[in-house]
Amino acid sequence: MNAISKIILGTVQFGIPYGINNTTGQPAEEECHKILKEAYGSGVRMLDTADAYGSAQEVVGHYHEAAPPFDVISKLGALQSNSNLEEKVTLGLKKLGVKSFYACLLHSPADLALLGSNNPWGKELIECKQKTLFKKLGVSVYTNADLKLAIENPLTDVIQIPYNLLDNNNQRLQLLKQAKERGKEIHTRSVYMQGLFYMAPDKLPVKLKPLEIYLKRLHAISHELHRDLQSMALQYALTNPFIDHVLIGVDSLEQWLQNKNALLTIAGDNLNQLIDKQINVAETDLLYPYNWK
């Protein structure tokens, strides 16, 4: 599998303004369609979306009206007592203009406890899968504790996790190996930590100041290898043998083209070894953007 075919294009930016370094806001639908067309023409075949991403599903659905469809991964919002899962999944398929999802993920790792064959929601999700409303079932997680639970759950086919130059092998590697031993498909997100890598280390918000030392080390590695941070971030995730797909999001056609060019500059250097040796974040709570507020 080549690098670009491992890419999943995220659509959260298509529906809501997103990212700590996003200064342009939500792109117009026409711009989103240009991104989708160019990405498909480049070889990308998979999208990531969710109930919670504003108008993103409708934007993609409008694109699919006149273009070859992508494979789509969808995330379900938190399960509640009045949840009708088959209705939710069917509505999502209709909005997106596809017949079946590649995968359906629980968006909240807290719902992992409900994902059992004896649980009503677990049973309904199994039935949805049997009806081919989606091919694979999984969960999006943050912490290693939740990742471990997802690995141990026999109903999870796909696990989506954060993974990047800071939230790296020193944090995740052993569990990634365990996941592959259990036959799980691993998707990673937050490859740029919502744009954090593009911020000047000395301009970080006060709460993120403990990460300054690690960003400076990344800049030093970038200088040593004569590489930009964008291509470094993509290479680190895409060349990990335990990772099947890497999710990236963009908010303009220009930004997609920059990512595409970065994919073409993946090098055979010792980047991964340098990252694992020099970047071991102690302040692990700051690796999760929900703690940045």
Query: DSSP per residue over 161-190, as a string?
Result: EE-SSSS-HHHHHHHHHHHHHTT-EEEEE-
pLDDT at 77: 79
Give yes or no for a contact between 75 and 96, defined as CB atoms under 8 angstroms apart: no
Q: Is the pTM of this model over 0.85?
A: yes
Nearest to 179 by CA among 205, 147, 210, 202: 147
pLDDT digits (tens, 9 = 90+) for 49-101: 998 899 999 999 999 999 999 999 999 877 765 568 899 899 999 999 999 99
Confidence grade of residue 242 (pLDDT, cut at 50, 70, 90)? very high
Structure token digits, residue 14: 């298509």
Nearest to 235 by CA among 165, 141, 151: 165
Nearest to 9 by CA among 261, 245, 243, 254: 245
Q: What percent of the chain has pLDDT over 70?
A: 95
Q: Which residues make beta-bridge pairs with 249?
A: 10
Q: Where are the beta strands (DSSP E) in 23-108?
A: 46-50, 71-76, 101-106
Q: Which residue has the tokens 């026999």?
A: 154
pLDDT higher than threshold 70 for residue 135: yes
Lowest-confidence region among 12-26, 140-154, 178-192, 193-207: 12-26
pLDDT digits (tens, 9 = 90+) for 6-50: 999 999 999 886 544 444 568 999 999 999 999 999 999 999 999
pLDDT at 3: 85
pLDDT at 122: 85
Residues 6+ away with beta carbon under 8 Å from 14: 26, 27, 29, 32, 53, 54, 55, 56, 59, 60
Question: Coil, strand or helix: which one is 95?
Answer: helix
| Averaged pLDDT score across all residues of the chain | 91
252 CB neighbour count, 10 Å cutoff: 15
Q: Where are the beta strands (DSSP E) in the chain?
A: 7-10, 46-50, 71-76, 101-106, 134-140, 158-162, 185-189, 245-249
